[in-house]
Amino acid sequence: MTDAPDAGVALLYHFCRMQLPAIVLTRERVREHLHRTLAQFQAKTPQPVAWSAYLASLYSLDWYLCCGCLQNLPQAWEMLFAMRTGRSDCLLLDALRARAIRLYPRDEEKQESAVTEFWSQLIVSKNAETLPIMARYDGQRPLAPWLIRVFQNWHISILRSGSPTQSMPEDDTIALPMPGRGETRWHEAFCEAARDWLATLSEQELLILGLRWRYRLSQREVGHLLKVHEGTISRQTDRLRDRCLESISKNLTDAGWAGENLAEYILTEMGGLLVDEPKLSFLALRTLLATRGVTLEVGIGQSVADS
């Protein structure tokens, strides 16, 4: 890997110091972090990444804040605690708690411990063989949404396996070629198209989508709840996925999408939307199952039983 260009490092350094004067890093430390995060990004990207392209797409202030946290600067941690996210402009910690409530409904102790444990691993990993969470951030995505996605995917993996001690995934998603950061309309277009598609689903399809995609129950568990063979659940899940991609792809293409890997973009975005979708909440799914004479217990993904 070639050395970071002096002009690029200087420009980044002075811009970040001007915008975040409370976080003090030396120019040499900035250069070291640049080499580290480019290597992180390059490991997930099949094609070589030039310094100019990496710096041009870097979320500079989020990246600099992350570096400050890794250096354990109190001012950086204060800013991270105060970071706001999403259209609701809520604090990052509140956004994580909201995700925990949806993932562990009616289990306040687990909700709180989920957030506390995640926060404790930001710069100190439980496993010596894996990097702390913040050390995995490559600066190519906004920091707050990235942290929320890592938190969400980690706990979905725990629910899916039924293990409370599963290791943190190495990253939230593979690196995907997304639309330019100026194209913020694509997220809104995706949400609109996805909710239009969700409105077309039957109760059976909503149950399969919620139990399989959102709560990660196995095909056998879903088949047991719905009283059908797991092979039927597999076929219906595949059809749901195909219809999802076909419907949303058409809407985004009609809206002018010209990027690559549209299917991967849709499936990546769908993960966050499903966690927030009221039709797929624990209470909504339990109500749908109740009409079939089935009781869905608290601890979904770990304990399900017939009434």
Strand, helix or coil for residue 181: coil
Q: How far is CA 187 from CA 83, 92, 168, in A?
A: 21, 19, 27
Quick check: pTM over 0.85?
A: no
Residue 164 has what pLDDT?
53
| Helix residue ranges, H only, 4-73 | 6-19, 27-43, 51-56, 60-70
72-75: long-range contacts (C-beta < 8 A, 24 or more apart)? 72/123, 73/23, 73/24, 73/25, 75/22, 75/23, 75/24
Q: 111 near 104, Cβ under 8 Å?
A: yes
What are the structural domain ranges in the chain?
Answer: 1-82, 85-174, 185-306
For residue 68, the model assigns a pLDDT of 95
Q: What does the pLDDT read at residue 17? A: 93
| pLDDT at res. 67 | 96
pLDDT tens digits along 4-57: 788 888 999 999 999 999 999 999 999 999 999 999 898 888 888 888 888 888
Tokens at residue 120, please? 């404790």
Q: How many C-beta neighbours within 10 Å does residue 229 have?
A: 12
Q: What is the pLDDT of residue 83?
A: 85
Low-confidence residues in the chain, pLDDT < 50: 87, 168-183, 298-307
DSSP 280: G
**Secondary structure class of 305 (helix, strand, coil):** strand
| pLDDT of res. 89 | 57
DSSP labels, 73-130 = -HHHHHHHHH-EETTTTEEHHHHHHHHHHHHSTT-HHHHHHHHHHHHHTSSS-SSTTS
Mean pLDDT of the chain: 81
Residues paired with 305 in a beta bridge: 295
Q: Six-digit token pair at 168? A: 């943190």
Which helix (H) or strand (E) segment holds residue 203: the answer is helix 203-208
pLDDT value at position 301? 41
